[in-house]
Amino acid sequence: MLDEDALRDALAADPDDVLALLAAMMTATDEGLRAAVHRLAPKLVLDRTRTGRPRRRGVGRPQPARASLGGDLDVDASLDAVVAARAEGRPPGLDELTARDWARSDLALCLLVDRSGSMNGPRLAAAAVTAAACALRAPAEHAVLAFARDPVVLKPLASAQPAARTVDQVLRLQGHGVTGLGTALRAAARELEGSRAHRRVVVLLSDCRPTDDEDPLPAARAIPELVILAPAEDDEEARAFAARVGAKVGTVEHILATPHVLEDVLTG
């Protein structure tokens, strides 16, 4: 049985252990228990991540952009292009006009979750909280990929998939296979190619210990901005890899510390 009141009390007292237990229960043999966990776990992960997420300061402002990318037409900024096009006897092209786009994001994130090896309760919970943190940090443009030998897209960059659905998919991951780090990094870079954001970041959740035959260094060095989140108890190779490719690295000691660690590496 799953007592929801007791669960919430336990979450308040020891959130890391309870989230890890919930992640492990995603594969419970009892069908009713498994269904209850699938219903509750994504919402609880999002709620706890949102509570622990650092607040960002500042007020959003509309950004100028080509009208072909969307937004509201800025008539004053587009006037010269309209006059020039009329003098040539043609309608102005969208690329010549200027829009003001409130929805334009300053950041796009692509999270890469390493699911090679064992995906136990703590690892699953950490991956789910990281996915939730990325969704909250870059709601307009974020993608989530999981990888072992080959990457699998759990949430495409352009998809409007709800964050709870993405968290649920992460919690369903099962670990297996070799670590194809180079292939995964190239897939993440391709996912970000269609982004409209000024800043495009690949977030790698891994110990950075490749076990296939490919050297991942060229793929990592080709990414404009790479940040690595590694477990605090096993971050030595991640730090060495980050130093070789010029990436930022943060270590996660507690599951619910992930939003703060992510914010630190993005703003540090």
DSSP result, the chain: ---HHHHHHHHHH-HHHHHHHHHHHTT-SSHHHHHHHHHHHHHHHHHHHHHHSPPPPS----EEEEGGG-SEE-HHHHHHHHHHHHHTTSPPPGGGSEEEETT--SEEEEEEEE-SS---HHHHHHHHHHHHHHHHHSSSSEEEEEESSSEEEEE-TT----HHHHHHHHHT----S---HHHHHHHHHHHHTT---SEEEEEEES-----SSS--HHHHHTSSSEEEEEEGGG-HHHHHHHHHHT-EEEEESSGGGHHHHHHHHHH-
- Give the chain's residues under pLDDT 70: 52-71, 100-105
Q: Which residues are paired to 75 by β-bridges?
A: none
Evaluate whether 114 touches 185 at the Cβ level (below 8 Å).
no
- Read off the pLDDT of residues 30-68 as tens digits, 9 standing for 90 and up: 999 989 998 889 999 998 898 766 655 444 455 566 665
Q: What is the pLDDT of residue 53?
A: 65
Q: What is the pLDDT of residue 147?
A: 96
CB atoms within 10 A of CB 255: 27
Q: What is the pLDDT of residue 103?
A: 45
- Read off the pLDDT of residues 207-240 as tens digits, 9 standing for 90 and up: 998 888 899 999 999 999 999 999 998 899 999 9
Q: What is the pLDDT of residue 248?
A: 96
Residue 158, token pair as written in the block: 């352009």
Residue 167, token pair as written in the block: 């968290």
Q: How far is CA 62 from CA 77, 101, 104, 105, in A?
A: 14, 5, 8, 10
Count Cβ atoms within 10 A of the Cβ of residue 125 and give its class: 0-12 exposed, 13-18 middle, 19 or more buried: buried
Reported pTM: 0.79
Q: How far apart are CA 162 and CA 146, in angstroms?
A: 17
Q: What is the pLDDT of residue 7?
A: 86
Q: What is the pLDDT of residue 266?
A: 94
**Domain regions of the chain by residue span:** 63-101, 107-267
Q: What is the pLDDT of residue 66?
A: 60
Q: What is the pLDDT of residue 250?
A: 96
CATH 3.30.1600.10 for domain 107-267: no
